Amino acid sequence: MTPAMTPARRLMVLKPSAMIGLFLVAGWLLVAALAPWLAPFDPLTSLTPLASPGTHAPGGGIFWLGTDLLGRDILSRVIYGARPVVGLSVLATSTAYLVGVSAGLAAGYFRGATDAILSFLASVVLSFPVLVLYIVVIVALGASYANVVLAVTFGSAPAIFRIVRAIALDIAGRDYVAASQAQGERAHRILIQDILPNAAPPLLVDFCLRIGYSAITIGALGFLGLGLPPPTPDWGGMVAEGRAMALAFPHLVIFPCLAISSLVVGLSLLADGLNAEGRRG
């Protein structure tokens, strides 16, 4: 990898599986952004209950993926459902990164008491199974967009912290950091100019993966009925609503499951490609 390679150029040389990943991720981002223009029906309007996929709608148009128990078009709900899942998982992962990266850099570079305290706190939070942690937070605070973001941030930040800390610890021991220290560079500049840029490639990979984890978690919360209040279309919630009748009407649950699976598979393939690329370069 020559240093002159731009990020766009980097994406061009990804292996085929990663290109598929990129395609899936970009596709869902577009769907989320353009939902009102893409969705054939309003996702909240009741039309024909439990129509099979391909049924003609009474007012014209086709229910490509059928309708749910309340007669809402499933394709439109899947399209609109991309918004909370994509939006919240990106937002929650970003806030978790903000917390995890700053704490991890501080712990890895300053070590000593800062590290001991932060590492202990991280290990405490990490000793909760993720879903149990979210359940506790949401039972205490109630289900809402903000609380889902808060819960995911709280749950992911410690894992990010651990990764960043390990990388920072490694880089802080390199001679170029010693050289900066010997020149009288201030700590915050060393963190920004020497440590962060060299930690970035593995963190980018982790960021991609972690958006996927967050999407899985948000989906699982929706499935458990602890996510977003209904009638907001969200993929996990659609599975929860349709589960009771899934034996007779599998289309109620299959499509939202395909949606979330393809999003997370896309993110994972992309992360894997970036990782291979990082090691090669």
Partner 1 sequence: MAEPILRVEHLSIALPAGGDRAHAVEDVSLTVHRGEIVCVVGESGSGKSMLAGAVMGAIPGDLARTAGRIRLGEIDLTALSEPELRQIRGNRVAMIPQEPMAALNPVVRVGRQIEEVFALHTKLSAQERSIRALGLLADMHLSDPERIARSYPSQLSGGQCQRVVIAMALAMEPDLLIADEPTTALDVTTQAQILKLIRDLRETHGHGILFITHDVGVVAEIADRVLVMRRGQLVEAGEARQVLTAPTHPYTRELMAAAPSMTPPPHRPVVGEHALVARGLTKIYGARQALGGVDLEIRRGETLAVVGESGSGKSTLARILVRVIAASAGEARVAGVDMLALKGDALREARCAVQMVFQDPFGSLNPRRRVGDMIVRAGVLAGAKPAEARARAEELLELVGLSKAAFHRRPAAFSGGQRQRIGIARALAANPDLLIADESVSALDVSVQAQILDLLRDLQDRLGLAILFITHDLRVAAQMGHRIAVMQHGVVVETGPAAEVLTRPAHPYTQALLAAAPGRELGTATVVG
Partner 2 sequence: MRETLADLARRLGGLALTMLVVSFLVFLTLEFNVEGVAVKVLGQFSTPDQRQAWLSENGYLDPFAIRYLRWLLDFVRGHWGTSTYYHEDILKLILPRLGASAILAGGGLLVMIPMSLILGVAAGAKEGSALDRSISLVSIITTSIPEFATAVFLSAVFVIGLGWLPGVSTMAAGLSLRELILPVSVLALASTGYIARMTRASMAEVMAQPYIRMARLKGASPARIILAHALRNALITPVTVIMLQIPWILSGVIVVEVFFAYRGFGTLLYQASLNADVYLVEACAMVSVLTVVVSQTIADLIYVRLDPRLSPGGGRHS
Q: Which two tokens stand for residue 149?
A: 């973001």
Compute the least distance from the CB of residue 184 to partner 2, in Å: 37
Q: Segment near partner 2 (CB under 8 A), from 53-61, 70-78, 108-116, 224-232?
A: 224-232
x-marked contacts with partner 2 along 140-179 as a string, rule CB under 8 A:
x---------------------------------------
**Planar angle of CA 39, 42, 43, nearest 5 degrees:** 85
DSSP H helical ranges for 128-250 = 130-141, 145-172, 175-183, 187-190, 196-223, 235-242
Residue type, 49: P
Q: Residues binding partner 2: what is the number (CB under 8 A)?
A: 43
Q: Verify binding: residue 128, partner 2, rule CB under 8 A.
A: yes
Which helix (DSSP H) or strand (DSSP E) does residue 185 occupy? none
Counting contacts by CB under 8 A, is residue 114 touching partner 1? no
Does 136 bind partner 2 (CB under 8 A)? Our answer is: yes
In whole angstroms, give the CA distance from residue 264 to residue 81.
Answer: 14
At its nearest, how many Å lie between partner 2 and the CB of residue 181? 29
Q: Omega before 231 cis (within 30°)? A: yes
Q: Enter the DSSP assignment of 55.
A: E
Minimum distance of partner 1 from residue 198's CB (angstroms): 6
Amino acid at residue number 281? G
Separation between Cα atoms, residue 228 and residue 144, nearest integer Å: 6
Interaction of residue 174 with partner 1, rule CB under 8 A: yes
Identify the residue whose tokens are 């499933």: 74
Nearest to 243, CA basis, from 44, 68, 73: 68
Minimum gap (Å) between residue 41 Cβ and partner 2? 23
Q: Which does 176 bind (CB under 5 to 8 A by kind): partner 1, partner 2, none?
A: partner 1
Residues that bind partner 1 (CB under 8 A): 2-3, 174-176, 178-186, 193-194, 197-198
- Give the footprint of partner 2 on this chain (CB under 8 A): 17, 120, 123-124, 126-132, 135-140, 212, 216, 219-220, 223-226, 236, 239, 243, 246-247, 250, 253-254, 257-258, 260-261, 264-265, 267-269, 272
